[in-house]
Amino acid sequence: MEDRQICNCMEVSYSTIKKAVEDGAKTVDDIKEMTEASTGCGGCEDEIQEILDELLK
């Protein structure tokens, strides 16, 4: 399910967030800066944090 949308406002998918982590993102702010996810309404911030926790464990 890597193509599932995480941020609907900015149309950012799971795979885009995963790629940002592979490129060095470690925080939600890093993800915001690198992908623009969660810079609209911010409703996906918790899900982004969960993805970070999963990928960085």
Q: Report whether pLDDT(1) > 70.
A: no
Q: Answer yes or no: is pLDDT of 2 > 90.
A: no
User: What is the DSSP code string of 1-57?
Assistant: -TTSEEETTTTEEHHHHHHHHHTT--SHHHHHHHH-TTSSS-TTHHHHHHHHHHHH-
pTM of the model: 0.92
Q: How does the average pLDDT of the chain come out, rounded?
A: 96
